[in-house]
Amino acid sequence: MFEGMKWLNEPPRWSVDDGSLVVTTGDKTDFWRETFYDFVRDDGHFLGAEVTGDFTAQVTLSGQYEALYDQMGLMVRVNQNNWVKTGVEFTDGRAHLSCVITRDYSDWSVIPAPDVDGDITLRLTRHDTAVRVQFLTSHGEWQLLRLGYLPLPPTLQVGVMACSPQRAGFTGRFRDLTITEPISRELHA
């Protein structure tokens, strides 16, 4: 799946190994706009593909989370002012599931990650202007993490991202990336 995708801010080291993408981040990289910290950062690493219409993107990830804000996951990107990133992020001494929706200003929501010693599987679904983020529980059920709004054009970029706002050298592995037709709109199935 990673073939044919294009980098925004290519990381200093990356490789595709046995179908998995391994990324090592550059120094002090991030995606963030204004809120609370009063700065704009658009230098995180994003590997994306152009997608038209509704879709579901899914990936399994694992990383060496050590420093504040080390993060990796899925991203939907319209432009530098409108995007969503979701994944695992290290904060308050442990890994959390995280989601940021940016409409000129970024917001941030986090919950403690259920298990970061193993893999975390995430999926992000576009239903028109709604973005649904879910994670796979240890019981094999999809749990809702976030349902949000973003003004989305018909065609945008979808893919994986990794950042390390406090350092260089965060390493993460992405595997089993798929971008398919959207799952059902049924939220409570």
Distance of alpha carbon 19 from alpha carbon 3, whole angstroms: 10
CA contacts within 13 A on the Cβ side of 118: 7
Reported confidence tier of residue 188, pLDDT bands at 50, 70, 90: confident
Which string of b and e fits 153-181 if b means at least 16 CB within 10 Å? Answer: eeebbbbbbbbbbbbeebbbbbbebebee
The count of other CB atoms within 10 Å of the CB of residue 129 is 10
CA-CA-CA-CA dihedral for 122, 124, 125, 128, to nearest 10: 170
Residue 151 pLDDT level (bands cut at 50, 70, 90): very high
CATH numbers and ranges of domains, the chain? 6-180 (2.60.120.200)
CB 73: neighbour CB atoms within 10 A? 28
Q: Work out the pLDDT band at 25, boundaries 50, 70, 90.
A: very high
Per-residue pLDDT of 59-80, as tens digits, reads 999 999 999 999 999 999 999 9
Instruction: Tell me what pLDDT residue 52 has.
Output: 98
Q: Are 126 and 76 in contact (CB under 8 A)?
A: yes
CA-wise closest residue to 62 among 14, 143, 134, 122:
122
Indicate the length of the chain as a whole number.
189
Q: What is the mean pLDDT of residues 106-135?
A: 91
Q: Minimal CA–CA distance to 153: which of 54, 32, 13, 45?
A: 54
Q: Residues 33-58: pLDDT tens digits?
A: 998 888 899 999 999 999 999 999 99
Tell me the mean pLDDT in the region 106-133. 91
**CB-based burial of residue 86 (10 Å sphere; 0-12 exposed, 13-18 middle, 19+ buried)?**
buried
- Residues facing 48 on adjacent strands: 6, 159
